[in-house]
Every structure is written in C-alpha cells, then in structure tokens.
Chains A and B, each alone.
Chain A
C-alpha cells in the first residue's frame, strides 16, 4: 500500500506548534498581501482611470437632449428672405411623465381632433419609446389648438406643447425648383454620418436645390438641453442649457421679386424662364412651372399630394430650366449668323426666299415666302431659307464652335444638384455617336436649331446674355462666386449686326412685334424659336393635335436693346410658337424689371382669368384631388365612374390653341362628374389612344 502522506512521521507537540506558527505567519502575510493588492487595485481605478470613470459617471447622470439649430436664411440680392424660419407649434408626449396614458391620449384626440391613424401611431411610438425622448403627437398645429392644449397641460401630465421652427418659403411654388425643400433625414443620411442631430425629432435637412447643396452653410450647430436623470430615466433637474448656433445665411444673385413674378407669369403653362444680369452673369430668376409647394415638403408631404405631383404630365418635380432639353429652333439663328460673319459672309448679301430650300430632291420648307433676305432681315423674319443656304455654304462644323462659345452644350458650375447640358453636334460627334457621316441635311436642320441640337433654357439665356454683353459670362447663383469675365472671341462689330437683327425681331417688322415693351424709350431685342416635337407631317405642323405633340415655344431676349442690362430665355413646352407663347412672358419679365407696378397690374389681370395666383390654384387643385380620391375610392366600391379625360384637361387648363381665357368658375367649381376622375391619365399620357381634338372637345365648365 502506498502512503499518501509521504514519510511516516509522528508529530510532537513542539513540532505542531512550530508548524502552526509558520502557517499562521503565512496567513498573516497573505492578509497583508491581499490588503495591498486591494489598495493597489482601488488606487488604479480611482487615480489612474479616474478621468475615464468620472466621464462615464457624468454620462450616466446627464442626459443630453439636442436642440436643433435654426437654419440659415436664403436671401435675395437685396437681402429679402426667400427661405426663412417660421415659429410653429407642436405637441409631444414625454413617456416618463405620463401617468394616465390612455386618458391623456383620449383627451388629446378630443382637443386636437386626431385621426384614428394618428392615435394608433402614437400608441405604437410610446411602446418603443423610453425615458423622456419625446414622442410627437402633431407638428405644425395652428395657434388655437396649441393654446387649447397648453391651457390643459396642468391636468395632463406628460403632454409637452412647444414652439419650434419650421422652414417657410413666402413665395411658395415659384421658388420651388431654385431653392429646393427640406425634409427629415433618411436612414441612409444617418448611417453615413452617425450624427445624432439627424434623428432628432423635428430636425430637417436640405433635400433638393440650394437647400441641399448649401446644407453645410445653412445647418448651423445644435444646442443641448442637459438634464440630470436617474437610472430609470426619471428627470431629477434641469442643468445648464447650451443654445444653438444658427446656420449662416446664403445670399443669392436672385431678385426675389422677379423670381416670384416669373413663376407666377408662367401661369398655367409648362415651361421655364431664366433671366441673367448682363453685367455679371448673375442669375436674377430661374423659374420652372408647374412646381410643387416647398412649404408642404418641409412639413412632410402627404401621400395624396405626392401622388398628384407624380402623375401630372406637366412634370412639376422637374426643374425644366436646367434639366429640360429642347431643340432650340430659331433661337440659335443669331449664333449661326455670327459664324457666317466669322467665315466671311457679307451681311448685306441677299438670298431670295421662295418659301423653301431645295436640297437634292428634298425641299426644306420656310415659314413663308420672304423674298430677298439679308442677314438682318433674315434674323428679323426668322427666314429658314437664308440660313439653309448660308449654313450649307460654310458647313455646320464651322457653326458649332460659335454655338459652344455662346454657351450651348456647356455645363456651368452652379450649386444645383443636377443640370443637363444638351448637344451641339458636328461631324466628329455624329461619327462617334452613330458611326455615320455628317450629311448636308444635318447641316440644314442644325442651322435652324433642329435635328440633333438640344439646349436647356439656362444655356439659351447664357447665349442671349453673351450676345448682348459681348462678354463670356458664366451664370452664378451665390453672391461673391462670380468668375473672372473675359471678352468673347467674337468681334464686337459682328455682334452689333446680330443685335440689330434681334432688335428688329421685336421692334421692326419681325416675328415678335406683338411683344414690344410698353415702356417709352426702352426696347427689348430677342429671337423667337418654334421647335418641333415630332417630324413635320403634312399640314399639321405641330399646330394641332394633342398637347404633347405641339411645338415648343422659345424666346431669347435682352433689354434694353441698345445697352443691355438683362438677358434671358423663356421656353414654353408645347406652346406652339415662340412669338405666341414665349415672347409675351419675356415682355412681362422685362416690363417688371423697369416698371414693376405696371407689370404686376398686367399679371393680376391675367391671374384673375387663370383662377387666382399659383399658390391658390395649387391649393384648389390639391383639394379637388383629395375629394376626387375620396370619391374614387367610393366609386371603386360600386364599380361605377365614367371617365372622360379630355374634359378634365379642358377644365383645368386654358385652350392652348387660342389662349382664350377660361372662365375661372370652370376651375373653381368643376362639375361633379368631371371632378370625380383623376385629371391626368389615359388619353393624355398614352399616344396610342386617340387624342380628342381640343377644338372639338366640349368645355365642361363653361356656363355659356
């Protein structure tokens, strides 16, 4: 047997005592040792790591509530606000202070008339919310409701009515595409920066336009409300509050008055207007209509309103001034004329117009028989034959560089989310893109701004401004961002000849004589353009048929003709002619710049025919949509509802062919059966279904 105790020994009492003393000493040493270890550990925590733990204790104790900063204003060239902050009222629930949850929600829904959907959302939010992170009940409520709630807060613990700031655009829709709008940050935005400010209730960031591109300037930095809280989130007391740092203002080159005027003046049309300052290139106005109301975006847009914007065939969400591309038509004839002069064509050389130009066995038509034409009269009368003949003589490869020098095909350094820059074709471009040789007919088409040529309204405005000033102007939007200006490579004497031709367009016997400025001593010069949407077929020529096949109306202009201060471009989609649709708008804009009262009086008269200004028209349209939607859902249940799209189009828009003012009653109170159907669908959007000729369509709302 093995002995587990090793050597067999007997312990005497003395040995036992000795062993005990030794082991007792060992235990005593252990006590001292462990005591030292504990003291060392504690010193490590309390001295070496003190800073870290003090911070952790502080972050336990203090709850930071972010106060969203006030957004910087956007102001016009004179400091007039275009986008500002408005005090608004909201009601939140503080979960931790709620005692009687259901009772309070019941009382609130009675006072504020909350919809069942809202109540359900609040209940759901409350379930996931903790501590005193506020749960929003309603935002942007009116003062009466706010007052009613505030009055009863002592009886409703947990309800927190408060003031906050919401973005406000006094001009509404007319600045929509220029300024953009704000909205709550998306989950993607938050993931990119992890900034807790982004998920603070009520905080908005720029979502489009200048609001988006100038975000870093406009945002400011948030304040903080510090409160002491217990582990369970119970509020102990309020600590010092750090105020917010408001965002910086952004000053634009825009003239707020002109911008609003331009938006309103475009009226019921789908189009855009751009006005530039000829001295600097600063953008005075950049309007695109129809548009949306940026105010309704800043409060969170409703589902129905969004649907309405999406389904409109006039595309209110598109900034047509920068993203719309059109064949510029005859508006580029001045550019062609400059190229002709550059390549030695005598401006007095005569081309006889017999109503067309023959190339091989094909005839390129002119608008009429103009007879003998020189360069100036060809611009004045917009004679295609002259430009066909002369363009063919020098070839489009010699015209294209001048078109580019004047801004076509160019992308400008503007603080806007996107712009399209179109096409200035030449033989190399065509070879590259289509692998085909440039033909003579390509030259003829391009010379009169058809075929492959495409330009945006902004580019056309730059073209007008460069011809008017003789300077290579670059458009800019924000004060102080002007680039150095160099003169054009084009000789001033050539520009003078073209400017004379453009003066005659309005003030001679040209195509836009109806749009002379009603101001003594101030003349506007310009050039009309009518761009075909589809190929000329027979006699129709884009003057009849469905709206979407009608010709675009364009006009480039500058004023005063002898010493240009302003230049610009107006494009009316499917306006059927530059002289008819676009030039009158340009006339109004220039009248406004020199005599605002007179221009306003004219606009007011027009608007009374259109059924009110743009914001009230849009509000009414939205209301009609809402009731139509409600009725539609009811109609769907009973499987009824006759649809006649052409009727609706007639009631909500003027007759584009005649520009006869539609009785405002027709828009204000559409007949029930027409209002019960969505306005834009079916025949209007799909070319396959036969369009009803507008002239024969019944005017549903016309009482006569």
Chain B
C-alpha cells in the first residue's frame, strides 16, 4: 500500500457509506425545511446539527476496537435494562406512562437503546457459546430471558412497535448464530396460533390501530385518519411529486405527524415516486453495506453483530415505510436519519458506529 497525501485514518473511512448517510440526513433536513412551511426552525436546523454531531460520534466510535464492544455488551445490556425499569418506576410514581429520561439536549428513550444492546448481548452470547451447545437448551433459554425481559418491560409502557423490534433483533441474531431452523418455523406457527390471544391482551388503542390498519377507510375521519391522509399524500405525489414546498397535505396540516413518523409521506408528496425510490434504494444500499461488513468480519461476534445491527436498521425502515404506505398498523416507528427526533437517530448512528468499527477491525486484520 502506498501512502498518499490523505492520512491513513481518513482513507480508511468507509466513504461510500458516509456519502449515503449524509445524503439521507441532508435530504431529511430538506424535507423538514418544507414541512415547517419553508423554515429552518423548528425542525430542519436542529435535525442537521444533531445529524452532524451523531455522525461525528459514529466516526469516533469506529476508532474503538471491536473487542471493547464485545466486552461492554453485557454490562451495557444490564445498564439499559435498569434504565428501562427505572423509567417504568418513574412512570408508575408520576402516575403516567413515561418512556424517556430528559437529558437536557435529548430525551433519551432506554427502549431505543435496547434495540442496539439486545443485538450486542445476543451476539456476545453466541460468540462465546461452544458449537456443541448450540443445539441444546443451553443455546436457547438464556436468550429467551435476555430478549423476553426488555420485551415485557417495553410492552408494559406500552409500545408495541419498539417491543417487537427488540424481540425481532434478538431472534435475528439467534437465527444467524445457527439455532435450528425448525425452531423458528415451529415458533412462527405457534405465534400465529396465539396471535388472537395476544390481540385480546392489547390495549384498546392498540387494538383499534390494528383493526383500522385492516380497514382504514371505514373510519377515515377518526382513527383511520393517519393512514388515509398518508396514502393521499403519497398517492397524490405521482411520479415527480408536486414540487419542493408545494405539498398541500403537509402544509395544510391534513397529514398528521408529517415531520416525524410520516415524514416519508411529506417527502413523497413533494418529490414523488422518484424521491421515494431514492430513499428506498439508499436504505437498501446501507443494508447491503452492513451485510457485507458482516460477511467480511473476522470474528464471530463481529459477524453476528454487524448482521444483527444491519437488520435492526432495516426493520426500522421497513416498519416505518409499511406503515406510511398503509401495509402495517400505525406503531410509532420513525424513519431513521430522515424523521425529526433524536433518539432513533442516535440509536442508528450508534449501530453504524459499531459496524464501522467491525469493518475497520476486519480490514486491519485482513491487511496484516
């Protein structure tokens, strides 16, 4: 390797990924500028600043050796679990359901961080598990507890979307670790059969969301309003959209949550199908990069973690887009990097930082 003018640490950065991220985050700022009626406040400027800070954080995290993350996986998991319990207790004391801790510059939702640490902890567990134990009870039950606890806690909040993502994050790593396939198939069938029971245990507003998802037009002015208006925004955008700052659904307040969960609809109305395809392709590329990192990773922890985190980001995007397009119930999952809101962006940036670290680790090993 020749040393160029560019210093090695800079050259080693995954530039293609960073470009993608900046494109997504920047596009998010542009959309939020329009959502505020052509104003940097209250959303676009803070989004851009936060994005910049978190991106720096992610780059800084990439310099930390992968083994540190492996060491920190369990302590981190325990800490976040305690935070979750703390939030739950705080909510019980104050008599409401609180999901966040106010840290001043950001309202931290421990459940968001749990999406990340559940992947780390599961990966750590299976990385240390000897291959002989993989097909025994020992290979299963600790992980069921590890994922089951935070799932139960978040369901109590209640936050169906986040709880599901936590569980699915853990299960994804188990799947990658090589837990027998028939278990997934079997539990999938079992899950489908207990679905009615779970449904009956849901809160009324959650049930309503599911029912409305199944038939949004039935209550177009009431609870189905979100989905209906989101579909109108996306559908009326057409191929090229109505043009920047020309969206009526968002500007005239017909689209609720146009700057957070439904930011994709706000974008699609003004940028059309082309804008939407660009965002989808960008996220698919980010996912592909993550899976490539997993494929290249030299350690088992690195492989499992990179793939798990890549899938976590992918779940974010998928659930959000399915929701805004009317293919999933309204669950309150934002579109990472584009939606206004700190915690989801932080979580995704932490994921990316760890993945970049794994990437760097494998490159260093590879070059040795």
A31 is contacted by which of B180, B182, B291 (Cβ under 8 Å)? B291
Decide if A41 is an interface residue (CB 8 Å cutoff). yes
Tell me the residues in window 120-142 of chain B with beta carbons closer than 8 Å to chain A beta carbons: 131-132, 134-137
A594 at the interface (CB under 8 A from B): no
User: Within 8 Å CB of B322, what residues of A?
Assistant: 38
Taking a contact as CB atoms closer than 8 A, the residue among A35, A46, A236 that contacts B252 in the complex is A236
Whether a CB of chain B sits under 8 angstroms from the CB of A9 is: yes
Q: Which of B91-116 contact A (CB under 8 A)?
A: none
Residue B332 CB within 8 A of the other chain: no
Does A56 lie at the interface of the complex (its beta carbon under 8 Å from any beta carbon of B)? yes
Q: State whether the Cβ of B236 lies closer than 8 Å to any Cβ in chain A.
A: yes
Q: What B residues does A35 contact at CB under 8 A?
A: 280-281, 283-284, 287
Q: Which of B135, B175, B254, B281 contacts A11 (CB 8 A)?
A: B135
B311 close to A (CB within 8 Å)? yes
**Which of the segments A138-146, A223-231, A666-674 contacts the partner chain?**
A223-231
Task: Decide if A52 is an interface residue (CB 8 Å cutoff).
Answer: yes
Is residue B147 contacting chain A, with contact meaning CB distance below 8 A? Answer: no
Question: Number of A residues contacting the other chain (C-beta, 8 Å)?
Answer: 46
Known: A27-B172, A27-B307, A60-B254. A50 touches B288 (CB 8 A): no
Known: A11-B132, A41-B327, A45-B231. A54 touches B288 (CB 8 A): no
Q: How large is the interface on B (under 10, 10 to 19, 20 to 34, 35 or more residues)?
A: 35 or more
Residues of A within 8 A of B321 (CB): 38
C-alpha spacing A9/B134, complex, angstroms? 9
Which chain A residues border B176 with CB–CB below 8 Å?
A: 20, 23-24, 27
Which residues of chain A come closer than 8 Å to B318, judged between CB atoms? 34, 38
Q: Are A9 and B135 in contact (CB under 8 A)?
A: yes
A31 touches B249 (CB 8 A): no
Residue B325 at the chain A interface, CB threshold 8 Å: yes
Does the CB pair B182–A56 fall under 8 Å? Answer: no
* Stretch from B3-11, B28-36, B269-277 contacting the other chain: B269-277
Q: Which of B137, B233, B273, B307 contacts A57 (CB 8 A)?
A: B233
Residue of A9, A42, A230 near B277 (CB, 8 A) is A42
Q: Is A616 an interface residue (CB 8 A)?
A: no
Q: Which residues of A contact B272 (CB under 8 A)?
A: 46
Count of A-B residue pairs with CB < 8 Å: 146
Q: Which of A11, A46, A53 contacts B239 (CB 8 A)?
A: A46
| Chain B CB within 8 A of A87 CB | no
Taking A11-B178, A24-B307 as contacts, is the C-beta distance between A39 and B291 under 8 angstroms? no
A684 to chain B, nearest CB (A): 59
Q: Mark A1-14, 1 if CB is under 8 A from B, else 0.
A: 00011101111110
Is B134 a contact of A60 with CB atoms below 8 Å?
Answer: no
Q: Are B178 and A39 in contact (CB under 8 A)?
A: no
Query: Does any Cβ of B come within 8 Å of A540's Cβ?
Result: no
Q: Are B235 and A45 in contact (CB under 8 A)?
A: yes
**In the complex, chain A residues whose CB is within 8 Å of the CB of B277:** 39, 42
Taking CB atoms and an 8 Å cut-off, the chain A residues in 468-494 that contact chain B are none
Q: By the criterion CB–CB under 8 Å, are B314 and A31 in contact?
A: yes
| Contact residues, A36-89 vs B (CB, 8 A) | 38-39, 41-43, 45-47, 49-50, 52-54, 56-58, 60-61
In the bound complex, CA of A572 to CA of B138 (Å): 113
A53, B284: Cβ atoms closer than 8 Å: no
Contacts A5-B135, A34-B318, A229-B252 given; does A45 touch B178 at CB 8 Å: no
A27 touches B311 (CB 8 A): yes
CA of A16 to CA of B135 in the docked complex: distance in angstroms? 12
Question: Which residues of B have CB within 8 Å of A61?
Answer: 248, 252, 254
Asked if residues B238 and A47 are in contact (CB atoms below 8 Å), the reply is yes
Establish whether residues B131 and A12, one from each chain, have CB atoms under 8 Å apart when the complex forms: yes
Contact B254 A50 (CB under 8 A): no
Query: In whole angstroms, what is the CA distance A28 to B288 when docked?
Result: 7
Known contacts A20-B178, A35-B287, then 17 further A-B pairs from the complex at CB < 8 Å, ordered by chain A residue:
A6-B180, A11-B132, A16-B177, A19-B178, A31-B284, A31-B287, A32-B284, A38-B318, A41-B327, A42-B268, A46-B276, A50-B236, A52-B235, A56-B236, A57-B232, A57-B236, A61-B252
Q: What are 11 A-B pairs with beta-carbon distances under 8 A? A: A6-B182, A11-B135, A16-B134, A20-B177, A23-B178, A24-B294, A31-B314, A46-B273, A53-B236, A57-B233, A228-B252
